[in-house]
Amino acid sequence: MDSASGLPTLAVIGATGAVGAVMLDLLSTRRDMYGEIRLVGSDRSAGRILRVRGRSVEAVPLTREVFDGVDIAAFAVPTPVAAEWAPVAAARGAVVVDGSPAFRSGPGVPLVVPEVNPERVRERPRGIVAGPGCTTLSMIVALGALHRRYGLRELVAASYQAASSAGRSGTDTLYAQLEKVGGDRALGNRAGDIRGVVGELGPFPAPLAMNVVPWTGTPAPGGWTSDEIAVRNETRKVLGLPNLKVSATCVRVPVVTAHSVAVHAVFEERTNQREAQEILARSPGVVLCDNPETHEFPTPSDVVGTDPTWAGRVRRSLDDPRALDLFLCGDNLRKGAALNTAQIAELVAAEQTG
Amino acid sequence: MDSASGLPTLAVIGATGAVGAVMLDLLSTRRDMYGEIRLVGSDRSAGRILRVRGRSVEAVPLTREVFDGVDIAAFAVPTPVAAEWAPVAAARGAVVVDGSPAFRSGPGVPLVVPEVNPERVRERPRGIVAGPGCTTLSMIVALGALHRRYGLRELVAASYQAASSAGRSGTDTLYAQLEKVGGDRALGNRAGDIRGVVGELGPFPAPLAMNVVPWTGTPAPGGWTSDEIAVRNETRKVLGLPNLKVSATCVRVPVVTAHSVAVHAVFEERTNQREAQEILARSPGVVLCDNPETHEFPTPSDVVGTDPTWAGRVRRSLDDPRALDLFLCGDNLRKGAALNTAQIAELVAAEQTG
Ligand SMILES: NC(=O)c1ccc[n+]([C@@H]2O[C@H](COP(=O)([O-])OP(=O)(O)OC[C@H]3O[C@@H](n4cnc5c(N)ncnc54)[C@H](OP(=O)(O)O)[C@@H]3O)[C@@H](O)[C@H]2O)c1
Ligand SMILES: NC(=O)c1ccc[n+]([C@@H]2O[C@H](COP(=O)([O-])OP(=O)(O)OC[C@H]3O[C@@H](n4cnc5c(N)ncnc54)[C@H](OP(=O)(O)O)[C@@H]3O)[C@@H](O)[C@H]2O)c1
């Protein structure tokens, strides 16, 4: 606890990354819950000056001592780094909030989305609380709201994932490829043309500019990707539905930031289009944007940089009164990562402050 | 019938459009089934010189007389033009093959995909045969093959539709927008930035460059789009399954040509991943491209300009042995339009020739 302010001390691990940058922005624009804030990067970033809460703060490298006196450690680093260092932070007394996949499926680690299962944050025998991945986070707040009314039974999801969920190198690669293809009208009419022009593929397994790539994550059994399996496991864990039927197809699209998901959800109860729209409209963390006649539906370019999950294209299935189709859109760096971590950290801070 | 060759006379109506251009290409590179070929455009294109079968042919405007002596009239024109002129052509004795939505749902008009229901081409009391829309055509050949083995019961589809299915103006708009956004790194991080830069929206209801737009077609009841309803009606009609459960979400993506669809299909019978892959691999008109470990899956930039439907990411549902998830990709101007029309015309030509 920060002795001057009586407020918790926060460390941001990975403050120099894509998610870290948004975290600093959130810490600067939301109600201030913290005393000291320590910013941590890799050795490469030691000494870099970052801005948070209107002040300059020097990034320090990741060491054991960095956690001394830290109450809450927010992790936004690659999985292996989180796997190694989160237990170190916890052993030194910090409550860890981790946004990486390292602990999401772990026993004794709650997987928390504050709008859906905030109570779980207190059940953390290992001192670690995890947040789901950005694809799950793009839909779970809206789905959770509909689940509370209708009882979710089955989920089919197809994603439209942005480049920045592959970190800074994802964003850099897409910009570089877009620069190369520009408005070149010779492209896009013959197979392979784009492959010959875009240059580096970066973290993607195929060209992303002027293309879509039906693969995100790493190979999992049965032809699935790790991201697709994660959507299934995380949705089940957050909603407390261990037998929920889930089929996801994860696809990367040439968008810089903001994920979208086309959702087909089957419920226990009969649904109603108007009522579902009202439920979404009044759910905290969700904005309903659903008036297609006047071209109102969420698109990534309209929601990037905003906090909520945007819901639109709400339709009741023509063939099953218990099924709804909808289109959800959210910023993968905000609710999909930094914001969810910040919200969990605030729940812990509120607990600690009294 | 062309008296010199004994082969049918073909008229291509809309020869100067996006689909028409691909039709001329197909007529030039496939086995020649026709005697005379007449090329028809609007008044605007009268006198334009087009190339087909290695020769120059002058485009003529659309008049009643254009159909004199025509055996087969392939229509690739906007819906109202087809609605008005297809009956004129049929009344003058031509068999009409129409790729527009004008007659797809009409009684007495067969909806034909030659790999799936070729026998239907002969049942044409109105002298008109229609082909489905490009979204249905991106999946129906692969789905039809799986249906024959397992019996399709339910279909959930999310599309990734290319700009060129909105015609030449769709393609032009996307290129112009890509030219404006180029690799501009200031874009894509704040809501509305892209909207301020892309300029004309063309036929799309929102910016398409660096974005995805969950809307194609016109408003239909219940919040659906005409395209989404068409996928349902056309799939039912082509497969002869009037009660098939179908939910589609149609989304435009910043790709010039080649549609993709993420498909979740539930069957009557238990499915098997390996067997489903083999069925697809040996189905005429389908290419299996499914080895994610070596980055083999279909993407639009790899399939554009090719004839078949490309199938990949074949997975059996982890929660339902009767369900398969897969990712399909096909050129919307080829199998999605011109090729399917050409194939139907060839069935009719073969009938007429003997
Ligand atoms: N991007 C998203 O949409 C998203 C969404 C949900 C979850 N996540 C998760 O968030 C985490 C961070 O993702 P990101 O997109 O922000 O990645 P990123 O842009 O590559 O940033 C990685 C951060 O981790 C730091 N780091 C790397 N190796 C380190 C080491 N050995 N020791 C200490 N710090 C190290 C980097 O510091 P330097 O700058 O010094 O290299 C940087 O601050 C990942 O676990 C990711 O799975 C990301
Ligand atoms: N693009 C696709 O992926 C796709 C897929 C499936 C089905 N379709 C259907 O195919 C049809 C053509 O689409 P498209 O993409 O090729 O459109 P397009 O590029 O706009 O071409 C339209 C064609 O129709 C002609 N035309 C327009 N008005 C006419 C009139 N009043 N009289 C005679 N000809 C006229 C145009 O001639 P001018 O050049 O002289 O204007 C041009 O040849 C549409 O019904 C569309 O729904 C398209």
- Asked if residue B266 has pLDDT above 80, the reply is yes
Active site residue A259: yes
Strands B95-98, B72-75: pairing is parallel
Cα B133 vs. chain centroid, distance in angstroms? 5
Strand pairing class (B259-267; B152-160):
antiparallel
Say what the pLDDT of residue B264 is.
98
pLDDT at B189 over 80: no
* Position B340 pLDDT exceeds 90: yes
For ligand 1, whether the C-beta of A337 sits within 6 Å is yes
Rounded to an integer, what distance in angstroms lies between the CA atom of residue B92 and that of residue B111?
A: 22
- The more confidently predicted of residues A271 and A188 is A271
Using CB atoms, which residue from B219, B222, B320 is nearest to A245? B320
- When pLDDT is averaged across residues B37-49 and rounded to a whole number, the result is 96
- CA-B102 nearest atom, ligand 2: 45
| Nearest Cα residue in chain B from A290 | B223
Q: Residue A171: closest CA among chain B residues belongs to which residue?
A: B185
pLDDT above 90: residue A3: no
Sorting pLDDT into bands at 50, 70 and 90, what band is B190? Answer: confident
Say if residue B322 is exposed, middle or buried (CB neighbours under 10 Å; 0-12, 13-18, 19+).
middle
Q: What is this structure's pTM? A: 0.96
| Residue of A185, A262, A299 lying closest to B206 (CB–CB) | A299
Ranges for all domains in chain B classified under CATH 3.40.50.720: 10-131+337-352
pLDDT band at B31 (very low <50, low <70, confident <90, very high): confident
A171 in contact with ligand 1, CB cutoff 6 A:
no
Of A257, A315, A318, which has the smallest distance from its Cβ to B189's Cβ?
Answer: A257
Distance from residue A353's CA to the centre of ligand 1 (Å): 29
A264 closest CB neighbour out of B156, B188, B255: B156
pLDDT at A50 over 90: yes
Q: What is the pLDDT of residue B353?
A: 85
Where would I find the beta strands (DSSP E) of chain B? Answer: 10-13, 37-41, 49-52, 55-58, 60-61, 72-75, 95-98, 128-130, 152-160, 245-249, 259-267, 286-288, 309-316, 323-330
User: Which residue CA neighbors atom 21 of ligand 2 most closely?
Assistant: B17
> Has residue A189 got a pLDDT over 80?
no
Pocket test for ligand 1, best of A75, A77, A341 (most atoms within 8 A of CB): A77
Residue whose CA lies nearest to ligand 2 atom number 20: B167
**Ligand 2 pocket, residue B166 CB under 6 Å:** no
pLDDT band of A193, cuts 50, 70, 90 = confident
Res. A183 pLDDT band, cuts 50 70 90: confident
Does ligand 2 have an atom closer than 6 angstroms to the CB of B173?
no
Query: What distance in Å separates the CA atoms of residue B136 and residue B312, rounded to the nearest whole number?
Result: 17
Query: Given this model, what pLDDT does residue B271 score?
Result: 98
Residues in Cβ contact with B130 at an 8 Å cutoff, skipping those fewer than 6 apart:
B97, B98, B99, B102, B103, B104, B106, B109, B110, B111, B112
pLDDT band at A58 (very low <50, low <70, confident <90, very high): very high
Instruction: Answer yes or no: is pLDDT of A127 > 90.
Output: yes
Q: Give A295→chain B minimum CA distance, Å.
A: 6
- CB of A131 closer than 6 angstroms to any ligand 1 atom: no
- B50 falls in which pLDDT band (50, 70, 90)? very high
CA B186 to centroid of ligand 2, rounded, Å: 37
The pLDDT of residue A92 is: 96
Share of chain B above pLDDT 70, in %: 100
Residues in chain B with CB shorter than 8 Å from the CB of A319 are 154, 243-247
- Per the CATH hierarchy, to which homologous superfamily does domain A10-131+337-352 belong? NAD(P)-binding Rossmann-like Domain (3.40.50.720)
pLDDT tens-digit readout, A72-111? 999 999 999 999 999 999 999 999 999 999 999 999 999 9
Residue B88: count other Cβ atoms within 10 Å of its Cβ.
16
For residue A167, give both structure tokens: 């970190």
Query: A290–B223: do the CB atoms touch at under 8 Å?
Result: yes
ipTM: 0.95
Q: Cα dist. A257→A28, A77, A136, A164, B211 in Å?
A: 21, 18, 15, 6, 9
Query: Residue B196, Cβ neighbours under 10 Å: how many?
Result: 11
Average pLDDT over residues A274-293: 97
B74 DSSP β-pair partners? B12, B97
What was the pLDDT predicted at A4?
A: 79
B20 Cβ closer than 6 Å to some ligand 2 atom: yes
What type of residue is B84? E
* A76 CB within 6 A, ligand 1: yes
How far apart are the CA of B79 and the centre of ligand 2, in A?
Answer: 8
Binding site membership of B23 for ligand 2 (Cβ less than 6 Å)? no
Ligand 1 neighbour A332 (Cβ under 6 A): yes
Query: For position B314, what pLDDT does the model report?
Result: 98
Instruction: Supply the mean pLDDT for chain A.
Output: 95
Determine the pLDDT at residue B4.
79
Q: Would you state the pLDDT for residue B5? A: 83
Nearest bound ligand to CA A39? 1
Instruction: Classify the phi-psi angles of B132: left when phi > 0, otherwise alpha if psi is within -120 to 50, otherwise beta.
Output: beta
Per-residue model confidence as pLDDT tens digits over A16-26: 998 999 999 99
pLDDT of residue B192: 79
Q: Where in chain A is the domain with CATH 3.30.360.10?
A: 139-331
φ/ψ of residue A283, rounded to 5? -85, 130
Residues in chain B: 354
Instruction: Give the least confident one: A98-107, A192-201, A239-248, B7-16.
Output: A192-201
Residues of B in contact with A273 (CB under 8 A): 222-223
CA of A306 from ligand 1 middle (Å) equals 21
* Architecture in CATH for domain A139-331: 2-Layer Sandwich (3.30)
Residue B203, pLDDT above cutoff 80? yes
Instruction: Report which residue type is found at A73.
Output: A
Residue A217: pLDDT over 90: yes
Check CB contact under 8 Å for B300 and A189: no
Distance A69 CA to ligand 1 centre (A): 23
List the structure tokens of B305: 């300009």
Which atom of ligand 1 lies nearest, measured to the CA of A14?
43
Chain B residue numbers touching A236 (CB-CB < 8 A) = none
Return the ligand 1 atom nearest residue A77 CA: 24
**Mean pLDDT of all residues in B33-43:** 96
- Distance between Cα A78 and ligand 1 center (Å): 5
How much of chain A is helix, strand and coil, in % rounded to 5? Answer: 35, 25, 40
The protein residue whose alpha carbon is closest to atom 17 in ligand 2 is B167
Atom 40 of ligand 1, nearest CA residue: A42
Q: Has residue B193 got a pLDDT over 90? A: no
Contact A264 B247 (CB under 8 A): yes
For ligand 1, atom 20: residue with the closest CA: A167
Each residue's pLDDT tens digit, B275-307:
999 999 999 999 999 999 899 999 999 999 999
Kindly give the pairing relationship between strand A72-75 and strand A95-98.
parallel
* Catalytically annotated residues of B: 134, 259
Pocket test for ligand 1, best of A12, A13, A16, A19 (most atoms within 8 A of CB): A19
Does pLDDT of A1 surpass 80?
no
User: Is residue A329 flagged as an active site residue?
Assistant: no
